[in-house]
Amino acid sequence: MSDIAALDKTVSPVEKFREYLVTKGQRLTREREIIVEEVFSDHEHFDTDQLVDRLSGRNDKRRVSRATVYRALSAMDEAGLLRKVARPNGREVWEHDYGYPQHDHMVCSACGELFEFHNDEISRLIEKITSAQGFLRTSHRLEVYGTCEACRRPQKRRLRKLDLI
């Protein structure tokens, strides 16, 4: 897998965001920069609540309000930095869409965990089929539902996230 080669990150996420904002006559504020940096500081999936926690848990003056986080995520979506992955329990889950190779997800119905997988053939097939119908594809979202390996082994059953509430 030469996924790493696909990274091709010539411009930092913050720069990419700035570029997008200019085209819209908008501004790269301190708050937006803080959010982009926090979001791209690791590759995990996250929801808005988790991000707000990460940001408000800081003891420096880099706190950002919840409303601004929502507004920024939506702008980063339009900018092509992020994409919505799934919506397991009523809240939108996000992941990096910039500098991260294309992939899809398996969603375990037992534990709620998301697993990534990548396959070029699927993408090629999707492109072929949809373009044959005159559709100009820009992206796709594929979620496979079922039971993950860990949850299939009764003795080592994972805790359901839902039960942790």
CB 156, CB 150: distance < 8 Å:
yes
Near its own copies by CB under 8 A: residue from 42, 60, 149, 163: 149
Q: Using DSSP bridges, classify how beta strands 104-108 and 82-86 pair: parallel, antiparallel or unpaired.
A: unpaired
67 in contact with DNA (CB under 7 A): yes
Alpha-carbon span 50 to 53, nearest angstrom: 5
Site string for its own copies, 40-79 (x = CB under 8 A): ----------------------------------------
Q: Which of 15, 19, 37, 49 binds DNA (CB under 7 A)?
A: 49
d(CA 144, CA 114): 10
Q: Give the per-residue contact string, 106-135, with its own copies (x = CB under 8 A; - = no).
A: x-xx-----x-x-x-xx--xx--xx--xxx
Q: Dig out the tokens for 154 from the structure.
A: 């009764």
Rounded CA-CA distance 127/146 in Å is 25
By the rule CB under 8 A, 139 interacts with its own copies: yes
CB nearer DNA, residue 47 or residue 108: 47
The answer to whether residue 155 forms part of the interface with its own copies (CB under 8 A) is: no
Which residue carries 């080592």 as its tokens? Answer: 156
Nearest distance from C-beta of residue 159 to its own copies, angstroms:
19
Q: How far is Cα 71 from Cα 35, in angstroms, rounded to an integer?
A: 11
